[in-house]
Homo-oligomer: A and B are copies of this chain.
Amino acid sequence: MEIIKSLDNKKIKGLSKLLIKKYRDLENKFIVEGEHLVLEAYKAGVLLEIIRCPEYECNLNVSETIVTYEVLKKLSFTKTPQKIMGICKKISEKEIGNKVLILDDIQDPGNLGTIIRSAVAFNVDTIVLSSNTVDLYNDKVLRSSEGMFFHINIIKRDINNLIKELKDKGYYVLGTKVDGGKDIRKIAHTEKMAIIVGNEGAGVKEEILDMCDDYLYIAMNLKCESLNVGVATSIILYELF
């Protein structure tokens, strides 16, 4: 068994570039950490290769590279990663389903991960990320989604164009808005729905709100100005999907 011990190993140096979004996009690959995510990647058919420490046994039918823990750490953002990682090819986009969640520039990776997890829980078919949304393959997004990003169609689009398209196809397009919206408990449930939630600070952009069929909000105590965006989105999905 060959064990890579050198931090200057050419292969490891190449893989460590995947910690940077630019290279993930260029190579169409990403890294997952830990047994749970490696297994989910395998089941989803996107696991290309396993990188692991010699003491960590793994019985998946995938090529393996064995490395020391010091070398493995070079491929991780965390200080004490689990002793197994997977190199994956990015998941291919599928057609848009009937229950669509559109994210307008969500910035916090933890929020995106949480939203993906809740979207699977409440039967969203497709999540659409605007071009300025935090990168899906960011390690914190992957971790906080608890592997759920393997179980849902996530696509990247120009939202303005997409909304026009969805409206032409008869989707009921709803924007979230603190003022002047309808209580989510009073929103009609239709077969084809698209819900748009916005950036942590700024909410949904005005130009996008202007295109919506209706607006929704969550009724709450006036002492509280707003909810965490992951929480608000989850409640909306719980109520509407």
Interface residues of A (CB under 8 A from B): 110, 114, 117-118, 120-123, 144, 146, 148, 151, 218, 220-221, 223-228, 230-231, 234-235, 238
Q: Which residue of chain B has the shortest Cβ distance to A123 in the bound complex?
A: B221
Which of B123, B220, B230 is within 8 Å of A231, CB to CB? Answer: B230
Q: Is the CB of A120 within 8 A of B223?
A: yes
Cβ–Cβ < 8 Å partners of A226 in chain B = 146
Q: Is the CB of A227 within 8 A of B110?
A: no
CA distance A224 to B116 in the complex (A): 10
Copies of this chain assembled into the complex: 2
Q: Is the CB of B223 within 8 A of A151?
A: yes
Q: Is the CB of B228 within 8 A of A114?
A: yes
CA distance A144 to B227 in the complex (A): 10
User: Whole-angstrom distance from the CB of A92 to the nearest CB of chain B?
Assistant: 19
Cβ–Cβ < 8 Å partners of A230 in chain B = 114, 228, 230-231
Q: Is the CB of B234 within 8 A of A227?
A: yes
Q: Is the CB of A121 within 8 A of B221?
A: yes
Which of B121, B220, B235 is within 8 Å of A224, CB to CB? Answer: B121
Q: Is the CB of A231 within 8 A of B118?
A: yes
User: Whole-angstrom distance from the CB of A112 to the nearest CB of chain B?
Assistant: 12
Q: Is the CB of A220 within 8 A of B110?
A: no
Q: Is the CB of A228 within 8 A of B120?
A: no
Cβ–Cβ < 8 Å partners of A121 in chain B = 218, 220-221, 224, 227
Q: Which residue of chain B has the shortest Cβ distance to A122 in the bound complex?
A: B220
12 examples of A-B residue contacts, CB within 8 angstroms: A114-B228, A117-B227, A117-B231, A121-B220, A121-B221, A121-B224, A122-B220, A123-B221, A218-B238, A227-B234, A234-B234, A234-B235
